[in-house]
Amino acid sequence: MAAKKWPENWQNVNRGCVVFRPGSAGDYHTGSWRAQQPVWDNVKCIKCGLCYIVCPEGCISEGSDGYYSADLDYCKGCGICTHECWPRAIKMVEEG
């Protein structure tokens, strides 16, 4: 996890708190929040892509085989993908 870099003092606060480094949200590895993780069963998956759309972290991506998986650095274990997948291809399982 990247070290947080707060301005040392108020004089160093960027005007209007503008963040000039694009993609800096990637520094926060929300994966550390996870208590359960989604596990895909590609036999049931119909490749509808709904999980990809609904993931609030945007951490689900489509593999070259057309199936989906989560980037566990960012998957926070919210379970929305599991809840929304209507063929029930995703299961939440305990971490560890």
Partner 1 sequence: MSKRIGIEVAVAAAEAAALCRFDVAAVYPITPQSHVAEHLSNIVADGRIDAEFITVESEHSAMSAAMGASATGARVVTATSSQGLMYMHEVLPIASAMRLPIVMAIANRAVSGPLNILNDHSDIMPQRDSGWISLFAENGQEVVDMMIQAFKIAEHRDVQLPVNVNIDGFQLTHMVEPLEMPDQKEVDKFLPPYKPYATLHPDKPVSMGTFAMNDVYTEVMKAKDAALVNSKEVILAVWKEWEKRFGRAYEPIEGYRVKGAEILMLTMGSMGETAAVAIDELRKKGIPAGLLKMKLWRPFPFDELKKAVKGAKTLIVTDRAVSFGGPGGPVAGEVRSALYDQPTRPAIINEIIGLGGRDMMVEHFMEIVMKAAKAGRKKRKEAYEFYGVREA
Residue 72 binds: one of ligand SF4, partner 1, none (C-beta under 5 to 8 A by kind): none
90, 93, 94, 96: which one binds ligand SF4 (CB under 6 A): 90
Q: Report the residue from 1, 2, 3, 10 that binds partner 1 according to the rule CB under 8 A.
A: 10
Question: In the bound complex, what is the minimum distance in angstroms from residue 5's beta carbon to partner 1?
Answer: 10
Q: What are phi and psi of 86, to 5 degrees?
A: -75, -25
Give the whole-angstrom CA distance, residue 23 versus residue 69. Answer: 21
Smallest CA-to-CA distance from 51 within 12, 8, 92 is with 92
Query: DSSP state, 86?
Result: T
- Asked if 31 touches ligand SF4 (CB under 6 A), the answer is no
